[in-house]
Structure 1
Amino acid sequence: MKLTDWPALADQNTAIVAVEYHTPDRMQILQQFYHWGEERSLSVFVWNPGYCGLQQLIRHQGQYILQSTDRGKDWDIIQYLLEEYQPGIYLLEGVLNESDGSKISQKCSYQLLNACYQALWSKKHHYWVLLETYVQLPLELQPFIPILSNPLPDKEQVQIVVQQFCDTWVGHSDHRLQNCAKCDRYPSLKTTETTEALRSLFRACQGLPIGEINMLLQQCLGFAEQLEEIAQLVLKHKVSKLRGRGLEYIAQPDVPSAGGLDLLEKRLETITYLLQTEAEKYGLKFPTGMLLWGPPGTGKSLCAKLAAKKMGLPLLAANWGVLLSTSHPDRALKEFIALVTSLAPCVLYWDDFDKGFAGWDSNADGGIARRLSAAILTWMQEHQEPVYTIATVNRLEMLPAELVRRFDDIFFMDLPHEGARYEVFNLHLAKYFPAFRNNNSPWSDDQWRRLLAEYRICSPAEIGNAVHRCAEEAFYQGRPGKIEFEDLLKQRQEFTPAMERESEQIQAIRNQAIYAKPVASQDISRFAYQHRELFG
């Protein structure tokens, strides 16, 4: 249930509710209850451990302020309200959370239970609202106290807040703020520059509470003179905040594409089309996500980044370790899911997903990993928002079977074949050496065949690292942007591929490739390996 359901509950004589809210939205919630109190001719009072007694919420000269009263001073506030049972709406903060972060005491639990029973026979309009950033009621109280939420704003609400900001500050010195306020009234004044600035600000504000958005926008006016600068400041704040919640924005990849992934790219094109609203008319649901499985260094993480770029969506990297290491993992995961949902449409990326589930079925951590795994499973199954989950794994067998089934596609990323290896080389060579750009190559096919044979058991990551080392050496030797064929042959002799160092582990992973879809079709390039008959 949402906060807006409170009037209906009050009409049914529900005396106590708990409300989960975001701290920056506190004043907005107080104002909402003030208006509900006016409609019912009830006073509104506020209490938290920082006050000595009840504070009455009043409106003075257009401002909402808290005025001190003598009620409840130096009292156990719950016991006081039980004994001095006067009409009103009482907003109580910090009642459900003890100072040490533990669950509420037995005494408090019984006091709340007594209040619920007392409301059954009392004819007074006496309501308690327990405000908390996270609510976890004891089992015995859950049937009596409904939990309401004040969720993060959706896209339309964020757009309204941003537009109101532009309208309010139309007189600001920045002419672009004036323009963005006029654009809504006069569409003919819209410019590409102003529209893009508004979009950037809107995207930066997504995933933040309304109260926080308003505060940030007002603060930014003291440091920024242009709309783009305000958007950057808000985005910087949000990135820092997300990092502490187990999420992080990932930058664009340093290569335009990945070589030898035609089947994967075809699937991503289909998924991108399903983002269109027309898909819903035909009963086509946006898919849940995909697993990218394979040995280390085969380009799984790069593919996740390129997938988000191809779909035109922001890429959010999830950190399972941060969620598990917090003092309240269940709360952290709940906030994490709410945040991801508010940022939809987006791509949620889990790197090394299998490592996060090591020992998930044991009770070594008190069952935390098991509980969080179950919550992730439920969310992946039930969520309706366009959040596409991409997870990379090395050992698929470490994931719970029921979690694997939640993914629509499982692709296996093996070592690249000859044609794909040629594409990988050219992608990295074009980054550092102009001679390889625009599909050009100064080397003959025979040279390429020799080079591809030398790097046959190398992963794309090892190939990219070898090219990078050659670029460093060329710069050091005074020939930047130039590479010789022999440089890469020499570089190959200076490292041992993982396929040789960890052959048993990697081959064990490759032996299971038949259980997943390949990312590349059969090699039909001019460099394709030619099988020869031994007996003819």
Structure 2
Amino acid sequence: MHFQDELRILLSSRHSLIYIVTNEEERLENTINKMAINDYPSNVYSWDFIDGYQNNPNYNEKARSNPLHALEVIENLDFSTSKIFILKDFHIFIKDSSIVRKIKNLFRKLKNSNLHIIIIASEIQVPKLLKEIITIIEFPLPNEEEIIMELNRLFSIMSTDCGIQLDSLALAYKGMSIELIRRSVTKLIFSQKPNQEIFEIISKEKQQFIRQTDLLDFYPINSSLEDIGGLFNLKQWLKKRSNVFSKQAQSYGLPAPKGILLVGIQGTGKSLSAKAISKQWNIPLLKLDIGRIFGGIVGESESKMREMIKLSEEFAPCVLWIDEIDKAFSRVNHSGDSGTTNRVLSSFLTWLSEKQKQVFIVATANNILNLPPEMLRKGRFDEIFFLDLPNLHERSKIFQIHLIKVRPLTWKHYNIQYLSELTGSFSGAEIKQSIIEAMHNAFYEKRDFTTNDIGDVVSEFIPLAFTDSSSILSLQEWAKLGKVRQASK
């Protein structure tokens, strides 16, 4: 249901106290004013702490710096005609005992009238005494259609054309407020950047905006499936779903995929795969540091989980990468935290199973045995992939990928077959590190590095597989039992 429809139904059914959560105060006020003209004829009055009431010469500047008086003005008005009162930032004052009492008294008078109080707030702060009489809804960020309308309006005002399809530009701005979009478009027009740089600039602005939330990170798309050696089954699974978020897929009746869980020891390509999905599917990549969810105040962790879910859905379609999820939801880690971890886990799993928005979860874990069984139940994730140590063919491909990056003209001079046979228990990350270490050694001696330099490093290297063999064996057993799917052939 669209926000306008939901608000119109609330007003028509005489909900007198409505609490709307948003940071877009101006856009919401414009939406309410349009509704008061077209859908629910009403007089609209707006109040804030500094200027008092606005929008009506009879009440201008009334109740300045006095929230209690702002409610008294409403109480003393004629109830015969429909009126909407917008109280901005009123959540700051709503916990005061006199305000609580006044609202409860006012509610009894308003509930059979056409008078409505709308509180605009950036966060939910409703006292327990008022929860039964206040209806809370959220004002969503602009959708693609609204963004296109705003872009058309801006380009018309500035008598210019950006030269980019508005559909692509609107998708790039998805998840940003109208005010941020306006400032960004104005900056892009005056900077006169070439079209290929515009999306990079928008990506950086999103990255800065996301970082301010202190919950998610916005990752630039810089890795592809071609950067991954091996993992044939995983890559094929992802390639078949490259257009799954398109309008054609929706028309075909395809449900949006929920996500995948990638399990395996460190260095086998789990994080690289998460980054590559974003590029393969051409959608933004958000990363959740699950440790940021858990706060010290009772109830704060659950609130942060809800905020994370809301934020990621506003950027949909997107990939949400949750790294090392086993460390946050380990079976042995939350026995003495008063149930906080269980409540956060429950919220996450419910969302994972029931979410409607196009947010594709990529969770990574080093040890599947540490994860709670309810997370591994069928239906939580579309697939659970086991990323084993690379085989001989995959190690050869990994060496080739990394040598091409550092020696694009001479990579064929290296004996990749020999090096692949030498690195039997190495992960992909360890292969990359052996090349880097060989380069350091040769650079110190002021010469180019050779196959023998890499071989010398490999002979002295102790792979993680030798120190984490029990974890690998348990994962291999799971793969044999069919509980997880092999990412490689």
- The answer as to whether partners of 2:264 and 2:366 remain within 8 angstroms in 1 is yes
Instruction: Note the C-alpha offset of 1:127.
Output: 1.8
Say if 2:447 is the partner of 1:479. Answer: yes
Q: Residues of 2 paired with 1:266 and 1:505: CA distance?
A: 26
Alignment of 1:40-79 (within 5 A): 43-48=43-48, 50-51=49-50, 54-57=52-55, 68-71=60-63, 74=66, 76-77=68-69
Opposite residue 31 of structure 1, the aligned amino acid is: N
Say if 2:303 is the partner of 1:334. Answer: no
Deviations 1:130-179 (A, max 9, x none): 11122254566444322232101112222222222222111xxxxxxx34
Opposite residue 9 of structure 2, the aligned amino acid is: A
Say if 2:417 is the partner of 1:417. Answer: no
Alignment of 1:29-40 (within 5 A): 29-37=28-36
- The answer as to whether partners of 1:72 and 1:80 remain within 8 angstroms in 2 is no
Instruction: Note the C-alpha offset of 1:517.
Output: 0.9
Instruction: Note the C-alpha offset of 1:471.
Output: 2.6
Q: Residues of 1 paired with 2:41 and 2:382: CA distance?
A: 54
Alignment of 1:320-331 (within 5 A): 320-325=290-295, 328-331=300-303
- The answer as to whether partners of 2:53 and 2:64 remain within 8 angstroms in 1 is no
Distance 1:139 1:262, change over 3 A: same
Opposite residue 501 of structure 1, the aligned amino acid is: T
Give the greater-gyration-radius structure (CA).
1
Q: 1:256 aligns with which of 206, 226, 235?
A: 226
Instruction: Note the C-alpha offset of 1:390.
Output: 1.0
Q: Residues of 1 paired with 2:230 and 2:128: CA distance?
A: 54
Alignment of 1:459-470 (within 5 A): 459-470=427-438
Distance 1:373 1:113, change over 3 A: farther
- The answer as to whether partners of 1:301 and 1:351 remain within 8 angstroms in 2 is yes
Alignment of 1:148-297 (within 5 A): 148-170=137-159, 178-180=160-162, 194-195=163-164, 201-218=169-186, 224-226=191-193, 228=195, 232-245=200-213, 246-251=215-220, 252-253=222-223, 256-297=226-267
Q: Report the number of matched residues.
A: 475
State the TM-score, normalized to the length of structure 2.
0.85
Q: 1:128 aligns with which of 108, 117, 133?
A: 117
Alignment of 1:342-491 (within 5 A): 342-358=314-330, 362=334, 364-405=336-377, 406-434=380-408, 440=412, 443=415, 448-449=417-418, 451-480=419-448, 483-491=449-457
Q: 2:109 aligns with which of 114, 118, 134?
A: 118
Opposite residue 389 of structure 2, the aligned amino acid is: L
- The answer as to whether partners of 2:225 and 2:280 remain within 8 angstroms in 1 is no
Opposite residue 360 of structure 2, the aligned amino acid is: Y
Unaligned runs of 5+ in 1: 60-65, 171-177, 181-193, 522-536
Say if 2:298 is the partner of 1:300. Answer: no
Q: Residues of 1 paired with 2:70 and 2:454: CA distance?
A: 76
Q: Residues of 2 paired with 1:408 and 1:167: CA distance?
A: 45
Q: Residues of 2 paired with 1:34 and 1:518: CA distance?
A: 57
Opposite residue 388 of structure 1, the aligned amino acid is: F
Q: 1:497 aligns with which of 420, 440, 463?
A: 463
Q: Residues of 1 paired with 2:224 and 2:409: CA distance?
A: 19
SS of aligned partner of 1:493: helix
Name the counterpart of 1:19: 20
SS of aligned partner of 1:127: strand
SS of aligned partner of 2:149: helix
Question: For structure 1, which segment, 148-157 or 207-216, has the greater mean C-alpha deviation from structure 2 after superposition?
Answer: 207-216
Distance 1:220 1:407, change over 3 A: same
- The answer as to whether partners of 1:18 and 1:131 remain within 8 angstroms in 2 is yes
Question: For structure 1, which segment, 461-470 or 338-347, has the greater mean C-alpha deviation from structure 2 after superposition?
Answer: 338-347
Instruction: Note the C-alpha offset of 1:207.
Output: 0.5
Opposite residue 438 of structure 2, the aligned amino acid is: C
Unaligned runs of 5+ in 2: none
Q: Residues of 1 paired with 2:171 and 2:374: CA distance?
A: 34
Q: 2:488 aligns with which of 513, 520, 523?
A: 520
Instruction: Note the C-alpha offset of 1:300.
Output: 1.0
Opposite residue 407 of structure 2, the aligned amino acid is: F
State the TM-score, normalized to the length of structure 1.
0.78
Instruction: Note the C-alpha offset of 1:311.
Output: 2.3
> Cα RMSD over matched residues?
3.3
- The answer as to whether partners of 1:152 and 1:338 remain within 8 angstroms in 2 is no
Q: 2:85 aligns with which of 83, 90, 115?
A: 90
SS of aligned partner of 1:96: helix
Q: Residues of 1 paired with 2:469 and 2:369: CA distance?
A: 19
Q: Residues of 2 paired with 1:120 and 1:371: CA distance?
A: 35
SS of aligned partner of 1:271: coil
Distance 1:94 1:278, change over 3 A: closer
Q: Residues of 2 paired with 1:221 and 1:499: CA distance?
A: 53
Instruction: Note the C-alpha offset of 1:287.
Output: 1.6
Q: Residues of 2 paired with 1:418 and 1:260: CA distance?
A: 10
Q: Residues of 2 paired with 1:12 and 1:34: CA distance?
A: 19
Name the counterpart of 2:284: 314
